[in-house]
Chains A and B, each alone.
Chain A
Amino acid sequence: MIICPDPDPAGVAIGAATATPTIRLSLDGLHIGWQGRAIVEPVSLELDFTALGRRLPILGRTGLGKSTLLLAIAGQKPPIGGRIRWSFPDGDVCDLGPEDWRRADELRRRRFGFAFQEAALLPHLTVLENLVLTLELSTRADRPASRGARVERAMEKLREVLIDGERVEAIGRRFAEQLSGGQKQRVALCQAMATDPDVLFADEPTGNLDPHTRREIAAVMDGWVRAAPGRVFVWVTHHHDREEFEGAEVALLLDRFEGERPDARLIPVEDLLRRSAGGRGRAAAEEARR
């Protein structure tokens, strides 16, 4: 089924590529920014997520536009210009641009899950109600049909992100204001993956967590991706740990040369880790000299 029919003939050409059983993302001169002002050089990429290990971390220094880029490709924020094309293994193609942005509504309902950087729970609903609401709004075919099944699924997902000593029933009854920062972030992640979307986006999902919990969450996300062959995980992070990149082949790096707008490029994860280790070594030597 084509959920975002596009009269553009170019769409047919790209649609032909969807015969391969993989999720593909094509960015064609994508301009992202705020209030009509681009903050990153136009991005043009062709991504086959199967080839990339179904994981794509987005990296870069603070303020370079990582989150903005993530929001754009996740259908949460329209680009200033250019096109975004998502192709799915079942043949669905969705072509998005600034003028036809409303097509993103159905993508969010059916294909995507998004864990926001800051707490993303409705404050007047309990944790469990927040999770169930996500399932209710989803239009995925495999969504639990009955309310009881939805509650069951929500509890199951919640259990996956809890740590030792946290009980599902107790956490599920709490409101957002009764959760710690780490709990909020884990529940937000849980909410994003509650529908088992095709693509799970997360904006710094481990940002507020201690190293131990971060590793646990990274393991949870890795397990979620591995659990089904069609799942893709795209996330923004500023942690350069091996655990963080577990399973990822490449990362999308936003970098800026002096006086220019940042641009985005793919970089192998191994290179990234090497550069990161070198950077840390140089910083340690500098510290020792001082």
Chain B
Amino acid sequence: MKRLAVALRLASIEFLRGGVMFWRPAPAGRDFGALTVLCAVLIGLTTLATSSGSALQRNLIQGMLGHVEGAGTPIWLLVHSSRLFLGPEQLAAFRNGGGFTAAHRPRDPNGPLAKLDFHPVVEVEPLDPYVRLPCATAGPESPCAAAIVWRERMGPGDPPMELRGWGIDRTNPLWFASGGPASGRTLVANAATFRKRFDYAAYRAGLAGGVPAPLLEALPERIDDVTDLHRLILSVRLHGNLRRLQLFDVTWVESLPGLQKVSLLVPLDVIAPAKLVYENENLTNLGPEDVDDEGGSGAVLRRITVYGATRAEVRRRLEAGGRDGLAEVAACLGRRSFGSNGPFRWSERGTDRVLELDGEVTWAVARACLARSGLAPDAGFDAVRPGFDFVDAPLAVAGRTATARCAAVRPSLLAQDTRGACADGGAEAAFTFSAFPDFRTGIVFVPDGLDLAEAIDAVTGQTLGGEPVVISSESYRDALGRISYARAVIAHLGSALALFGLVLVGVILLLQIAPTIERRRKNYGLLLARGMSRREVTAGILLQMGLAVILGAVVAAALTELTKAAFEGWFAGSQAARLAQSELGLLHPRLIPDVSLIGRLAHLGGATGLVLIAAIVAALWTIRRLPLRRSTAPIDLMVTQARVAEEAS
């Protein structure tokens, strides 16, 4: 054991002095340095080759089905026709994998296949009655401004593309992968489709005169790119048929993944209340801006009254500078969204002037308009006063849930009361946004590394009450079939290439290892002459091979990451990446999609193992040919074969 330790130490010294420490002189040559570099290149190439094989498959899947960083491949699912919607209980059962049939039950009940989550989606269309682009110049049910600002067809060759949005929960991976904020009145917009289809000039022109001036001024007059637009005004249902124009903060993403072309993502906590108040006209969709002039919440501005408008001091204020203050205020507030479809008009009530608002404008906006005409109530002027109504049936939104008084909820909607409190005589109903009647579609994200077909089988195989819960669409099944075929072709090609690569790695290593060992033939003879055994010499040589491979693997790991980064940088600026972003909906297209650290280590470890085995086989073969065998005498290694032949003759 002591001699073995000496042999291994000696081999290590020889390895380190053999050019591995390239900055130091190498008295015996640099062939171990060269071997290490060769191992690094071979391991790096093998790692890249195996990574590229997986990358090809993953890009194929991502290109066809989309991909969300950190979540996986989105699979578009439809609620089975046997049921109208997925209620809270069904969703909960679905998430717990309670309805798996025996045929499709995942092998591991606690594995990832059993924990795939169904994320409901509400499709937001141009004519959406809940949230849509504003319709400031036409009636409530016409395409109005949307058709003007969204150019459906760019040219003869361009396919028509509707303004399509998805209402999704903020917990949906697609939302946070897109950079959607955790709260606030906000939306995520697809820059690629907006850039092509959204006519901002038309949008702003359509809003001009119809939108309260303080809101309109939040939008720039012109933009160079849609991403310069940090806010958008959308029309949101407030109460029954009443709508209100509201500012939304916009988060732009270059594109959104999926087989469908999605232009907008709107949080469910914005859509669901609007939908609830549409279906239950007793309820009012209040927001945090609904406060009265003393800061009281839940107050909707119903009217503005100018008391004693004919009085001299009031008239002086209304007509200061020779203008018509009341007309200015009406013009500033724009047009009514619904009802008369015309501008706001003051009416006379005796000596008073009254402007009916019905909650379409918040007090903050109205006050801004009054202030512009010098009519805002202040200490020296109290003839203008707002009139508020406190809403008796507000829909209070908190996170992913809204609550309302039981008395105000229509009986047909009580079935959706999550807590069932109303049925038990309680006072307040609660509605969870992730379980609404119109949620007939949804997404399941299949994490990277899981088999897509198996995952879809597991999801669609679930039943509740003996009936299927969700089905995958025909287009997905078709795409999956094609992907499976392509993957099988890649796998077959990969096997053939791997065999060829193995032989190639072995030959290349032998070409370097054989001369490296043969050059030391005399040294090994010297070691035998000094008393070292053949096994100890062999162990030293194998240690050197191991060191070359391990050090090569470390270099290869750095080299591979750098190469990948360089490739990614090169790919990021390519036409293919731009196409993936703008047409395929990939948020972050990558040449070699990121795999987990374990996955990367597995690729590196596999390549290192392969090269190590090849190096050991090449070394043992060369050692045997030296010959360093049981019967070898020291002198056999210290003289050349030519000298032996000469002596023998």
Contact = CB atoms under 8 A, between A and B. Distances in A.
Q: Do A and B interact with each other, yes or no?
A: yes
Interface of A: 33-35, 37, 39, 68, 71, 76-78, 101-102, 104-106, 108-109, 114, 116, 120-125, 129, 133-134, 136-139, 175-178
A108 B531 contact: yes
Contacts of A68: 647
Interface of B: 3, 6, 10, 13-14, 17-18, 27-28, 523, 526-527, 529-533, 630-631, 633-636, 638, 644-645, 647-648
Contact of A177 (B13, B27, B631): B27
B530 A133 contact: yes
A136 B5 CA distance: 10
Main secondary structure of the interface of B (DSSP, over half): helix
Contacts of B533: 105
Given A122-B523, A123-B523, A34 B644 contact: yes
11 contacts: A76-B635, A78-B631, A101-B633, A102-B630, A108-B634, A121-B526, A124-B14, A124-B28, A137-B530, A137-B532, A176-B27
A239 B63 CA distance: 85
B9 to A, nearest CB: 9
B106 to A, nearest CB: 58
Nearest to A114: B529
Nearest to B15: A124
Contacts of B644: 34-35
B13 A125 contact: yes
Contacts of B631: 78, 101
Contacts of A178: 27
B6 A175 contact: no
A164 to B, nearest CB: 26
A77 B6 contact: no
A91 B523 CA distance: 33
B633 A109 contact: no
B536 to A, nearest CB: 9
Contact of A108 (B529, B645, B647): B529
B645 A138 contact: no
A215 to B, nearest CB: 28
B10 A133 contact: yes
A77 B18 CA distance: 30
B150 to A, nearest CB: 76
B649 to A, nearest CB: 8
A137 B531 contact: yes
Contact of A123 (B28, B636, B647): B28
A77 B635 contact: yes
B532 A78 contact: no
A34 B6 contact: no
Given A77-B633, A133-B10, A108 B530 contact: yes
A104 B633 CA distance: 9
B19 to A, nearest CB: 10
Given A105-B531, A133-B10, A139-B531, A122 B648 contact: no
A120 B27 contact: no
Contacts of A129: 13
Nearest to A188: B526
A125 B529 CA distance: 16
A8 B647 CA distance: 32
B16 to A, nearest CB: 9
Nearest to A178: B27
A124 B17 contact: yes
Contacts of B3: 137
B638 A116 contact: yes
B530 A33 contact: no
A35 B523 contact: no
Given A122-B527, A124-B13, 5 more contacts: A39-B648, A108-B529, A123-B27, A125-B10, A139-B531
A68 B646 CA distance: 13
A109 B27 contact: no
A34 B640 CA distance: 12
Nearest to A108: B531
Given A76-B633, A105-B531, A114-B529, A37 B14 contact: no
Contact of A109 (B526, B531, B638, B645): B531
Given A76-B635, A78-B633, A108-B531, A120 B6 contact: no
Contacts of A134: 530
A120 B524 CA distance: 11
A116 B523 CA distance: 12
Which 6 pairs show the lowest CB-CB distances between chains A and B? A109-B531, A175-B27, A34-B648, A124-B28, A123-B28, A35-B648
A58 to B, nearest CB: 16
A106 B531 CA distance: 7
A63 to B, nearest CB: 8
Contacts of A120: 526, 529
B89 to A, nearest CB: 76
A102 B528 CA distance: 11
A137 B6 contact: yes
Nearest to A113: B530
A108 B531 CA distance: 6
Contacts of A33: 647-648
A33, A34, A35, A109 interface centre (most CB from chain B within 10 Å): A34
B28, B530, B533, B645 interface centre (most CB from chain A within 10 Å): B530
Contacts of B638: 116
Contact of A37 (B10, B18, B648): B648
A34 B531 contact: no
Contact of A35 (B526, B529, B630, B645): B645
Contacts of B527: 122, 137
A120 B647 CA distance: 20
Contacts of A114: 529
Nearest to B16: A124
Nearest to B638: A116
Nearest to A138: B531
B529, B644, B647 interface centre (most CB from chain A within 10 Å): B529
A176 B638 CA distance: 16
B526 A34 contact: no
Contacts of A122: 10, 14, 523, 526-527
Contacts of A78: 631, 633
Nearest to A107: B531
A34 B647 contact: yes
A35 B634 CA distance: 15
Contacts of B523: 122-123
A133 B11 CA distance: 12
A117 B247 CA distance: 96
A188 to B, nearest CB: 10
A114 B528 CA distance: 12
B282 to A, nearest CB: 92
A124 B28 CA distance: 5
A121 B647 CA distance: 24
A136 B532 CA distance: 10
B8 to A, nearest CB: 12
A76 B525 CA distance: 9
A186 to B, nearest CB: 17
A235 B208 CA distance: 113
B648 to A, nearest CB: 4
A55 to B, nearest CB: 22
A116 B17 CA distance: 24
A56 to B, nearest CB: 20
Contacts of B633: 76-78, 101, 104
Nearest to B29: A123
A241 B104 CA distance: 98
Contacts of A133: 6, 10, 530
A38 to B, nearest CB: 10
Contacts of B531: 105-106, 108-109, 137-139
A224 B631 CA distance: 34
A129 B644 CA distance: 30
Contacts of B635: 71, 76-77
